[in-house]
Amino acid sequence: MASARAFLSALLSVICSVFILRHPCKAQSLASCKFDAIYQLGDSISDTGNLIHEGPIGEASPCGHPPYGQDFPGGQATGRCSDGLLMIDYLSQAARVPFPDFYLNWSAAFTRGHGVNFAVAGATAMPSYVLAEMNISNPATNSSLGTQLDWMFSYFNGICLDKADCVSKLKHALFMVGEIGGSDYYYALFQGKSIEEVKSLVPQVVMAIKDAVQRVIGYGASRVVVPGNFPIGCFPIYLDRFEADGPSAYDESRCLKDLNGLTAYHNELLQKAIGELGKENRHVVILYGDYYNAFASMYRGGPSFGFDMSWAQKACCGSGGGDHNFDPNRRCGAPGVAVCPDPAKAISWDGIHMTQRAYSVMTDWLVHDLLPKLKCNASLIGN
Q: Which are the catalytic amino acids? A: 44, 350, 353
Cα–Cα distances in angstroms (integers) from residue 25 to residues 16, 230, 372, in the given order: 6, 22, 14
Dihedrals phi, psi of 147, to nearest 5 degrees? -65, -40
Distance of CA 60 to the CA centre of its chain: 22
DSSP 76-120: ---S-SSSS--HHHHHHHHHT-PPPEETT-TTS-GGG-S-EE---
Q: HSE on the CB side for 373, CA within 13 Å?
A: 15
What is the chain's percent helix, strand, coil content, to nearest 5?
Answer: 45, 10, 45
Whole-number Å distance between alpha carbons of 383 and 379: 8
Dihedrals phi, psi of 39, to nearest 5 degrees? -115, 125
Please answer whether residues 157 and 221 qualify as being in contact, where contact means their C-beta atoms are separated by less than 8 angstroms.
Answer: no
Whole-number Å distance between alpha carbons of 383 and 284: 9
Other Cβ atoms within 10 Å of 23 Cβ, number: 15
Cα–Cα distances in angstroms (integers) from residue 72 to residues 61, 66, 69, 108, 320, in the given order: 17, 11, 5, 19, 26
Please answer whether residues 230 and 298 qualify as being in contact, where contact means their C-beta atoms are separated by less than 8 angstroms.
Answer: no
What is the chain's Cα-based Rg? 20
